Amino acid sequence: MDIYKTRCGAESRIINRRCPIDRSGVEDDYSNNGFAIFRNALSHLDINGININELSESKDIYTNYEEDKKTIRSLLGVHSKVRIANSVPCNILSMVRRVLGSEFYIHQSRINVKNRMVGGGWTPHSDFETWHYDDGMENMRAITVMIALDNNTISNGCLNVMKGSHKYYFSDKESLHAGHDANFTDQKSGVVDKASCKDLAALCGNDFESVELAAGDAIIFDCNLLHKSSENKSSNRRRNLFFVLNSVENRLLAPFSGGEERPQQMAHR
């Protein structure tokens, strides 16, 4: 049964989350906030070994571009080249395992690049809404590990999160689907509109807050946490490395959209 129906009906809706956040019941702050920050997770030496242009030339990696069709926005499916075991410390992976209450596998791995002056932003959304609809991820049992490869500041478009928003689910109204690649670049479906962001802020008692990180810091966040980020109009590049870890008990079904599966690099099966 689809308990998180979305992109149907004339109006969007906000409903309560129906599944537990933390199966261990011990990570109180994480359960309440929907995210946790770990400083100095990755060394600068390891960061320096990551070369965006070299990665984009690999045939296994899927490159998504800015609307200008030439500036790299995301590299998808990077985990064959940037190994999780070399990039994410054990204490973070143990916490993910504890919260999920099971072993996990990599649902998606990517590097988001926001080049100086030209890098675009991300509209407010919960990742789960897309993974549910486009990829058939049934339940909210995935956690994103994001590692800053450059300093993330307000001026270069750092992540903004709404504490506690993972306890609610934004179900979007019916919309025309722009196609997987175009919707990845600039999400059109599943975007949480201004009024719904306000409603969610009232429900959570929190507004968006900026998450500034130094290169090497990590944040883990719930797949249903509302987040957004602005474009990079500064002279400092912003790159972040992501591993989305889904519970092995939550393997992908057929997309709830009823449409085609997305490429493997967007959703590993």
Residue 240 lies near ligand 6CS (rule: CB under 6 A): no
Partner that binds at residue 266, options ligand 6CS, Fe ion, none, CB closer than 5 to 8 Å by kind = ligand 6CS
Contacting ligand 6CS (CB under 6 A), which of 12, 64, 108, 246?
Answer: 108
Q: Which of 52-60, 86-94, 126-134, 185-193 is the region at the interface with Fe ion (rule: CB under 5 A)?
A: 126-134
* Min dist. Cβ of residue 107 to Fe ion (A): 13
- Tell me, by CB under 6 A, how many residues bind ligand 6CS: 8
- Whose CA is closest to 102, among 245, 4, 220, 2? 245
Token pair recorded at residue 104: 């996990």
Contacting Fe ion (CB under 5 A), which of 66, 127, 134, 135?
Answer: 127
* Residue carrying the six token digits 């109204």: 173
Residue 127 lies near ligand 6CS (rule: CB under 6 A): yes
Q: What is the DSSP string of 155-195?
A: TTT-EEEETTGGGEEEEPPP-----HHHHHHS--SS---HH
Contacting ligand 6CS (CB under 6 A), which of 196, 215, 266, 268?
Answer: 266
Residue 135 lies near Fe ion (rule: CB under 5 A): no
Of 66 and 127, the one with the shorter C-beta distance to Fe ion is: 127
Of 24 and 230, the one with the shorter C-beta distance to ligand 6CS is: 230
Token pair recorded at residue 157: 């478009």
Interatomic CA distance for residues 77 and 135, integer angstroms: 15
Token pair recorded at residue 192: 């949480």
Q: Is the dihedral of CA 154, 72, 227, 33 positive or negative?
A: negative
Token pair recorded at residue 254: 């057929």
Contact 147, 42 (CB under 8 A): yes
Residue 64 lies near ligand 6CS (rule: CB under 6 A): no
Q: Which residues bind ligand 6CS (CB under 6 A)?
A: 108, 122, 125, 127, 130, 184, 187, 266
Q: Which residues bind Fe ion (CB under 5 A)?
A: 127
